[in-house]
């Protein structure tokens, strides 16, 4: 296929979902079937186009050096023109494979999941807009359009998180998400501006594959001094955007609350696409990080934040009861893994883990949605048949609680309110679901094992192992302090990951049902289970695209396919990363933490599964409350940032606005009224008075004139005489 055709497909690929958004929003808003069909078909169209592009370029050797794309001049800026365009390079191609596939599956899933919601069409409109924006971001060849789509996704995230907008928790979560990512976006914008000021362009290829540009950015000192180069500052600012969008510490607080949105949204936004976009951008700017110094400030910052976030997320996830919250913190943790990988320079490992994570995390979220649906079905089944107990009592509250269809999600803080309203997302209400929902169980198990990094057969193992190998090599072999720290932290986090994954699986599926609802749960419809199955296939086998060449058994098994991803993506960088020689130590660590964590979880939760009402052993930990309340970061931010601003805003409204500004305005009105009255007076007295006086004057003259004509002889004589004398004198004395 010719390069022009590929470029055309790149231009066209984001369009179908965007058009679907417009069509649904404007025209088919009232027709559910039509809207969802349009949305799904548009996504399929986009998928087809993306796949065509991918399968045309996946075997190109130097795609990184010579990416395929096209530009148009868009923004005239003085003497130059800012070009925007599309490009497909190895990194973009990888995303072109993953993103539309995940989105299509989620769309299909949503048809079943959201079927009972009255605002079904609105959901698909927003979802289409979101998918279109993500596609647009993936094909963008410059930072400006990337940012535009970035912001557009932020808006969609806000709309979708706050989809159930009657619930205060939902719209508050939406605002929190928007505000928090805004902080990151501002840093990104600053970085973008600075970059443009330094280089005069925003095109990725022109900046990031251009030796001279990178060297000059590295040589120039940062505008604030700070001891780093311009490249470093720009990289840090751009990383700020990643911190916001990909929920790294300190801007991680929005992601758990974002679970207020419908589950497909959680799957899509917070697993497959939006949070990946942050890492995607960071990967694109990897050359800039390199230019700012191999062991420079930028890398260090990235690595530290990534490692800490990985640890933070894992520890909190251990103490959560809500099935979606566990996955949310798990996402935060796994993103931390990727960021840490970038921080130690493991470019390919980070990209690899991003790819695998998208699949198995989306799978886990969708499966959890299936679980929630099943438990809710069971709950209704119970209440319809009039069973006693909590179920009957809480059904009314349950209905009053959501008020928008039976299958609304029930986001809840992680408090233990099993006695009050029934929470279908609380794992303590589940149990024994492996018999009632076998497909969901199987797929969830696969996803969970992938997350934990079960050796060899799950994709998660291979990508995590890659990170460990890089960290171990750079850290303990070559002696880089940051890499060592990253290695240790990530190992601990991986251990906890496996543990809480097993905890989650055991509590949800194993043992006996702990509630009536769980006892009557039913498997979900095929439109929901089909995507689960497809995703689990990927969760198992996608890992084989980057097996190390020297890996025992498996390396020989794939033969030339070893390190396929690395070879493909490597051309993105100016310096080809050298493949590491096989070292069994990190592999053993990978296997050890995975199996060890899973075994520990099995021991605690699966051997003697929890009964109803039994307290979770995890609560016995002294740090339980600290972990359950998410290390109190939300409260801290509220105290430092939100409350003072709120107070200022209230005060401003009360004092300044009402007193000062309103008084000024009222004074202005009064003054204006007085001026107007003054003018009216002036008009009345002077102008009208003047014209009246003129009238009176002329009438007086007329009256006087009229009186001259008395009709009396003598009077006429006198008048005549006066006139004559006047004329006589005039002529006598003046004209001679």
| Residue ranges binding another protein (CB under 8 A) | 709-718, 721-722, 725, 728-730, 732-736
Q: In this structure, are residues 52 and 9 in contact, taking their beta carbons and an 8 Å threshold?
A: yes
* Rounded Cα–Cα distance for residues 255 and 274 (Å): 11
Sign for the pseudo-dihedral over CA of 164, 169, 171, 173: negative
Pick 676 or 709: Cβ nearer another protein: 709
Distances (CA, A) of 245 to 190, 191, 375, 649: 15, 15, 32, 27
The residue (of 212 and 733) whose beta carbon lies closer to another protein is: 733
Residues in the chain: 736
Question: What is the phi-psi region of residue 479: left when phi exceeds 0, alpha when psi lies from -120 to 50, beta otherwise?
Answer: left
Give the Cα separation of 570 and 612 in Å (integer). 53
C-alpha distances out from residue 704 to 460, 586, 712, 729, Å: 116, 124, 16, 25
Structure tokens at 381: 């089944």
CB of 682 to another protein, least distance (A): 36
Among residues 26 and 708, whose Cβ is nearest to another protein? 708
Report the residue number, 661 or 725, with the smaller CB distance to another protein. Answer: 725
- List phi, psi (to 5°) of 574: -70, -35
| DSSP string covering 663-676 | HHHHHHHHHHHHHH
Give the Å distances, CA to CA, from 513 to 327, 410, 506, 521, 677.
21, 20, 11, 10, 82
Residue nearer to another protein on the CB measure, 640 or 722: 722
Q: Which two tokens stand for residue 128?
A: 């289409």
Smaller CB separation from another protein, 76 or 711: 711
Name the token pair of 476: 């303990």
CB of 685 to another protein, least distance (A): 31
Nearest to 464 by CA among 289, 338, 619, 560: 338
Nearest approach, Cβ of residue 705 and another protein (Å):
11
Quick one: tokens of 405?
């269809």
Give the span between the Cα atoms of 350 and 353, in whole angstroms.
5
Q: How far is the CB of 698 from another protein (least distance, A)?
A: 19
Q: 84: part of which helix (H) or strand (E)?
A: strand 80-88
Nearer to another protein, 2 or 736 (CB): 736
Nearest approach, Cβ of 713 to another protein (angstroms)? 5
Least spacing, CB of residue 709 vs another protein, in Å: 4
In the bound complex, what is the minimum distance in angstroms from residue 704's beta carbon to another protein?
Answer: 14
Q: Which is nearer to another protein, 578 or 735 (CB)?
A: 735
Which C-beta is closer to another protein: that of 611 or that of 709? 709
Three-class secondary structure assignment of 271-329: HHCHHHHHHHHHHHCHHHHHHCCCCCHHHHHHHHHHHHHHHHHHHHHHCCCEHHHHHHH
Nearer to another protein, 655 or 722 (CB): 722
CB nearer another protein, residue 59 or residue 714: 714
Any bridge partners for residue 82, and if so which? 75
Nearest distance from residue 697's CB to another protein, in Å?
A: 22
Q: Tell whether the torsion through CA atoms of 471, 472, 477 and 482 is positive or negative.
A: positive
**Smallest gap from residue 719 Cβ to another protein (A):** 10
Determine the distance from the C-alpha atom of residue 734 to the mean position of all C-alpha atoms in its chain, rounded to a whole number.
Answer: 104
Asked if residue 250 lies in contact with residue 633, where contact means CB atoms within 8 angstroms, the answer is yes
**DSSP letters for 399-426:** HHHH-S-TT------S---TTSS--TTB
* Of 649 and 723, CB closest to another protein: 723
Nearest distance in Å: CB 668, another protein: 53
Residue (197 or 722) nearer to another protein, CB: 722
Q: At its nearest, how many Å lie between another protein and the CB of residue 734?
A: 5
Residue 522 vs 710, nearer CB to another protein: 710
- CA–CA distance from 42 to each of 132, 146, 267, 422 (Å)? 9, 21, 19, 38
Count Cβ atoms below 10 Å from residue 393 Cβ, excluding itself. 15
For the bound state, the minimum distance from the C-beta of residue 726 to another protein, rounded and expressed in Å, comes to: 10
């Amino acid at each position: 296929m010719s390069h022009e055709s590929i470029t055309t497909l790149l231009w066209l690929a984001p369009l179908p979902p965007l058009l679907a958004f417009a069509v649904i929003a404007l025209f088919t808003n009232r027709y559910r079937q039509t809207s969802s069909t349009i949305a799904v078909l548009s996504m399929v169209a986009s998928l087809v186009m993306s796949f065509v592009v991918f399968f045309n370029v996946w075997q190109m050797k130097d795609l990184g050096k010579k990416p395929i794309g096209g530009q148009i001049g868009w923004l005239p800026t003085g003497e130059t023109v800012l070009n925007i365009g599309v490009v497909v390079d190895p990194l973009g191609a990888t995303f072109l494979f993953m993103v539309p596939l995940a989105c299509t599956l989620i769309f299909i899933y949503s048809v079943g999941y959201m079927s009972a919601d009255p605002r079904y069409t609105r959901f698909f409109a927003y979802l289409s807009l979101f998918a279109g924006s993500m596609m647009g971001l993936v094909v963008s060849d410059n930072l400006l359009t990337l940012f535009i789509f970035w912001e557009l996704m932020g808006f969609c995230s806000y709309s979708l998180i706050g989809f159930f907008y009657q619930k205060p928790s939902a719209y508050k979560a939406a605002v929190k998400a928007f505000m928090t990512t805004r902080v990151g976006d501002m840093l990104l914008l600053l970085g973008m501006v600075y970059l443009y000021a330094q280089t005069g362009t925003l095109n990725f290829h022109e900046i990031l594959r251009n030796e001279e540009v990178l060297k000059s950015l590295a040589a120039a000192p940062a505008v604030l001094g700070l001891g780093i180069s311009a490249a470093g500052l720009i990289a840090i600012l751009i990383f700020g955007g990643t911190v916001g969008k990909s929920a790294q510490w300190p801007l991680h607080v929005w992601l758990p609350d974002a679970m207020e949105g419908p589950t497909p949204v959680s799957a899509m936004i917070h697993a497959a696409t939006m949070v990946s976009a942050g890492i995607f951008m960071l990967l694109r700017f990897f050359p800039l990080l390199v230019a700012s110094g191999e062991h420079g400030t930028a890398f260090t910052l990235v690595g530290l934040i990534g490692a800490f976030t990985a640890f933070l997320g894992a520890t909190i996830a251990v103490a959560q009861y809500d099935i979606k919250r566990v996955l949310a913190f798990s996402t935060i943790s796994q993103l931390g893994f990727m960021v840490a990988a970038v921080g130690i320079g493991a470019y390919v490992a980070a990209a690899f883990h991003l790819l695998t994570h998208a699949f198995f995390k989306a799978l886990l979220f969708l499966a959890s949605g299936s679980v929630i649906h099943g438990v809710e079905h069971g709950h209704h089944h119970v209440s319809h048949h009039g069973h006693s107990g909590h179920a009957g009592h809480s059904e009314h509250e349950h209905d009053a609680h959501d008020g928008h269809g039976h299958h609304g999600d029930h986001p809840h803080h992680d408090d233990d309110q099993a006695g009050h309203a029934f929470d279908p997302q609380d794992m303590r209400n589940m149990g024994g679901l492996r018999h009632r929902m076998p497909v969901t169980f199987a797929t969830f198990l696969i996803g969970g094992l992938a997350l934990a990094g079960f050796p060899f057969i799950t994709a998660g193992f291979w990508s995590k192992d890659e990170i460990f190998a890089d960290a171990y090599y750079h850290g303990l072999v070559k002696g880089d302090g940051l890499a060592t720290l990253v290695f240790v932290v990530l190992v601990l986090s991986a251990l906890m990951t496996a543990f809480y994954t097993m905890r989650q699986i055991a509590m949800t599926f194993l043992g006996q049902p702990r509630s009536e609802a769980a006892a009557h749960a039913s498997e979900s419809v095929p439109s929901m289970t089909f995507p689960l199955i497809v995703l689990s296939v990927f969760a198992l086998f996608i890992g084989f695209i980057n097996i190390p060449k020297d890996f025992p058994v498996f390396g020989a098994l794939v033969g030339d396919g070893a390190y396929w991803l690395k070879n493909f993506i490597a051309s993105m960088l100016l310096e080809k990363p050298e493949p590491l020689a096989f070292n069994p130590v990190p592999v053993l660590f990978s296997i050890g933490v995975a199996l060890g964590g899973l075994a520990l979880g099995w021991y605690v939760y699966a051997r003697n599964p929890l009964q109803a009402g039994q307290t979770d052993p995890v609560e016995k930990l002294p740090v339980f409350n600290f972990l359950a309340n998410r290390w109190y970061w939300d409260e801290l931010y509220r105290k430092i940032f939100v409350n003072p601003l709120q107070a200022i805003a209230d005060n401003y409204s009360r004092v300044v606005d009402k007193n000062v500004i309103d008084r000024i305005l009222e004074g202005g009105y009064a003054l204006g009224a007085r001026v107007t009255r003054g003018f009216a007076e002036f008009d009345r007295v002077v102008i009208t008075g003047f014209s009246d006086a003129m009238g009176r004057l002329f009438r007086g003259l007329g009256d006087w004139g009229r009186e001259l004509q008395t009709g009396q002889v003598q009077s006429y004589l006198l008048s005549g005489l006066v006139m004559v004398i006047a004329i006589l004198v005039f002529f006598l004395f003046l004209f001679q």
